[in-house]
Each structure stands twice: as C-alpha cells, then as structure tokens.
Amino acid sequence: MRTLIDIPEKQINELAIICKAKNLPRTEVIRQAIVAYIASNTPSASQAFGLWSKNAVDGLDYQEKVRSEW
C-alpha cells in the first residue's frame, strides 16, 4: 500500500545518511523502522488483562474470595 507522509527536511537528511551507510533504498529503511516501532509498541499479554495485570492475584483465590462474600 502506498502512503503519503510529511517528513521534516532534517529527518529526510538523516534518513539519507542511514540509507547510504546501509546501502538500502529509503523505502526499505522506512519499512524496517515501522516493523521495529510496531514490535516495541505492541502490548504484551500481561498488559492486555486489566484487572490481572496490576494485581498478581491468583484467579481461583479471587473467585473463592468473591464467592465467600455471598
């Protein structure tokens, strides 16, 4: 898929230096950057489960505690 983006001139110049050093086209360097960004910003399973991520609570213990309140 083609996408248009605006990149500041300074970043374009820095990108050109990277491309020349790696002997890669700009598109490939940008693809690699996107892959790295997605990998570093994808939440892990522990971040995805709200209640359980912050409180290291055993599910069965929690269930029994809640049921004992009935």
φ, ψ at 59 (rounded to 5°) = -60, -40
Tell me which residue has tokens 């002997």.
23
Residues in Cβ contact with 51 at an 8 Å cutoff, skipping those fewer than 6 apart = 57
- In one letter, which amino acid is 10? K
Pick from 16-20, 22-26, 42-46, 58-62: least confident = 42-46
User: Tens of pLDDT along 13-32?
Assistant: 999 999 999 999 999 999 99
pLDDT confidence of 59, banded at 50, 70, 90? Answer: confident
